[in-house]
Structure formats: structure tokens, C-alpha cells
Amino acid sequence: MKEATTHFPPNRVSDLAALQQGGDSVRCNTSFEILPVDFVHWDNPFQAYIFLCRYNGTVNDKAYSFRKCYARGCPHNLCPHVSQAVMIANRYLQRDYYKLEQAGIKVEKSLFTLEEMTVKFDGYQEEHGPFLAIHDYINIAGEGTDVKVDLVLEFVSAVEHFAKYENRMIFLMVNFTVTCLGRTYHYERCLACYPQAEEDESRKQKISVANERLRLLYDEFDKAAIDHEKRFFQLASNVTGTSAKEPLNPEDKRLLLILNTLLLGVIIIDPHEHRIVYVNSEAARMMDRPQTEMLNQVCHNYICPFALGKCPITDLGQQIDRSARCVIDSTGAEVPILKSVKRIRFMAQDHLLETFMDNRAVAEKERLVGVLEMAGAAAHNLSQPLQALMFDLDDLNKKVPQRWSDKLTTMQESVEEMRDVIRNIQAITRYQTREYVHGARIVDIDGASSPE
């Protein structure tokens, strides 16, 4: 499990807990905001209330302040989503209070209230049953029930309405689709947010905050054996050019949504600076790296390590279609791939779309075929003379004086060992090696022929 980063000034509840446990003196107060927000959600704008808690106080007498979004609900009085949002917000708020309390931080445990909107729904839970949040499904999975979770991550533009002004924001939202006990449930959370006016200063930091929260959640999914695919927020819309600060258009959003569901590695590259502007989750898995680590980095450091100025596509004019190449994983090892490259339009600019599949299984099969061919030839060429030698030794054992019997027995035992080796060669079913002298590796005959 990757250890979470502690930020200072703190911008998460986890930061406050870590600072206190690390010996710092943390003071914390909370205040609440329930704001109507217009969300720009693809082509379908909608309005909702968001439930925000502002944490403020001091760390070693230095002031800090940050907000955390706990829930979102429809603003219509007749909509039960509001009562659900209040319950969800308070449940997660209480979890954070517990985290602060365990770290030794005193905080007044106030909760969200929205009586004018929830009074009509006092009987909602009695009619529909308790509303389940994502940690309820984690507990259900931990008890042995099969649970599958599909996630969609979104950068959602919004406008917060205050009494005398409006505040344009970007919310980092995760939408959960949970399949459990034959039914499907939908649930969503806001993991971070930042003002649109602070795009350059805040975007990368807030993506880091959201991704660290996702990592903690995925760790819980793994422990509970929940079927899921790990996805992380990316800096995909920070493409070099005048459109870098503009939200992705619907076509680009749909493209990225499709690319992130493929079982192929996909990377989009700026052909002018050779920088990576998008990485899908499968590419990150193959390279065992966080998606955010590779974004805005020179592609040659991660995929097809050619020197700058010698790119096969942009500099040498080559066509790459299912060509054998490699990517570099987090240990620095080369992972064999089959790669194709096409030119596409993305963010109104030309880009390179690189798709690739893990070629290790193919390479393993090719190595095994070579070993089996060599093993078959060796076993055939050795077994016949060995069989003749065994007959000769048996005949000699009947004719030579008794004083030679010990030496003949030793020779016969050696021949039996050679026969066992040939049998193991004939039984090889996989490619497996072991260390030999001077750092060399040779085929491990015993290991490659034994049952797995």
C-alpha cells in the first residue's frame, strides 16, 4: 500500500491527523455551508445543493483553512435526494471526527442540518430502507457477499451561489455504480474542488488530494475483495496551447471515457514537445505507475526509450502498426509490447494516439516453443546412445570380475541419473530459468518440468 503524502499547509482531514501524530500542535474548528450549485454535466446542466465543511485553525500557531465537500443533493423540496445527502454528509463527517479524535485533536462535533428541506421526508427510511453509502458496501463485501463497483471520474464545472456573489468552481467527482445481491445502486462523492480562477495554481494539487483519497478507498476495496478497476484523475485537459485552460468538449470527454474502459494501454502524446497528455488506467497498470506521474512528462522516459530528435514517428517518419516495442515500468525494467500509433485531433490540436498490448505472454510462449524444440532434440539424440550404454553396462556386469562390481554399480547409477534428466527434459511444460555462474541464467529443467 502506498503511503499517503502529508501536505502543509494542510488541505485534508488526513493531513491534520498526520501532523498531530507527528508531534505538531493542531487546533481545529468547523463551520458549515450548504450552497446551491449549478453543475455543468456534459450537455445536461443541473442544479444541486452541496454540503461543505470548512476546517480552520492552526498548526503550531500557523493558520490554515480548507473545505471538504461531503455530499450533494437535488434542491427540490419534494426530492428525497436531499434527505439522503444530509444523512450521507453527516455519516462521513462523523468518520472524520473519529479520525481527528483518534489522532488527539479536539473538535466540536457539529452536524449538518437542513430541516426545512428534510421535514417532509421523516418517513423516507421507513419506506425505502436505510440509504447505503460506499463504506456500507465495503462492510457487506467483507462479510463474504460478492460486490462489484464501477467508477466514473469527472471534472464537473459548477457555480456556487452566495448571497451577493457567485463563485465558479471545478468539482472532482466520482460516480459509483455498485452491483450487490442482484441489484444495482448508484452513489457519488466529491473528492476535491478548486476555483476555476485558480486553475493553474490549484488543479494539480487538488488532483493529488483526490487521487490519494481514491488510493485509500481502493485499499479498502482490495481488503474486502470488491471487484473493481482502479481509476485516477488525470491532467488530461492541461494540453499545451491556448485551449489548455478550457474544459474538455463533449467529444473529447466521450473519447477519454471510452479509452479508459479499454483493455489496451492508451497514451495520447503532444507530437511537438513529445509530452504525455493522457494515460488510461490499463497503460498505468502495465507500467506499475500512477497516471499522474506520467502526465506532462517526456514520453521517451516511459515508452519506447529513443533519444530526443530520433522519434520513429515525428522525426524518422516511420509507420508503427503492431510493432514490437517496450515500455519502462516503475523498476526500470523493459516490458515488451505490441504498439500501434495513429494521428488524431484532441483538444482541437494534432496528437499521437498510441495503443499497445502487453506482449510478455507472447514472448513467454515463443521462448517456451524454443525450449521445447531444443529439449525434444536433446532428449531424442541422447536417449538412444544412453540406452545402448545401459545394455553394455548390464552385459559387462555379468562378465567382469567381482572386484569391478562397485565401479560398474556407480556407472549404472550415473546412467540412471542421466535417464532421469532426459525424462525431465521430455516433461518440460513452461519456460523457467535459474542462476548459473558469472551472472548467467540457464533453463531450470527440474522446475520447468514439475507440476505447478
What are the residue ranges spanned by the domains of the chain? 1-116, 132-233, 250-358, 374-449
Site of grid cell 487521487: 211
| β strands within 200-273, DSSP E | 227-228, 265-270
Q: What is the mean pLDDT of residues 252-261?
A: 80
Tens digits of residue pLDDT in 380-414: 777 778 778 887 787 787 777 777 778 888 888 88
Tens digits of residue pLDDT in 196-224: 778 777 888 888 888 888 998 999 999 99
pTM assigned to the model: 0.46
pLDDT of residue 383: 77
CA distances to 33, 49, 127, 290 from 77, rounded to whole Å, are 18, 11, 18, 42
Q: Bigger pLDDT: 373 or 347?
A: 347
Q: Top-level CATH class of 250-358?
A: alpha beta
Q: What is the mean pLDDT of residues 138-159?
A: 84
Which positions ≥6 away from 158 have C-beta within 8 Å?
37, 38, 39, 40, 50, 168, 169, 170, 171, 193
Asked if 59 contacts 66 with a C-beta cutoff of 8 angstroms, the reply is no
Q: Bigger pLDDT: 21 or 366?
A: 21
Residue 315's identity, in one-letter code, is D
Q: What is the mean pLDDT of residues 342-361?
A: 84
Q: What is the mean pLDDT of residues 181-193?
A: 82
pLDDT of residue 148: 93
pLDDT of residue 117: 45
Q: How does DSSP assign 427-439, residue by residue?
A: T--S--EEE-GGG
Residue 77, pLDDT > 50, answer no
Q: Which range, 64-78, 80-94, 176-190, 434-448, is most confident?
A: 176-190
Tens digits of residue pLDDT in 17-37: 999 998 999 999 999 877 766
* Average pLDDT, rounded, for the chain: 77
Distance of alpha carbon 145 from alpha carbon 138, whole angstroms = 10
pLDDT of residue 218: 93
Burial class of residue 18, CB neighbours in 10 A (0-12, 13-18, 19+): buried
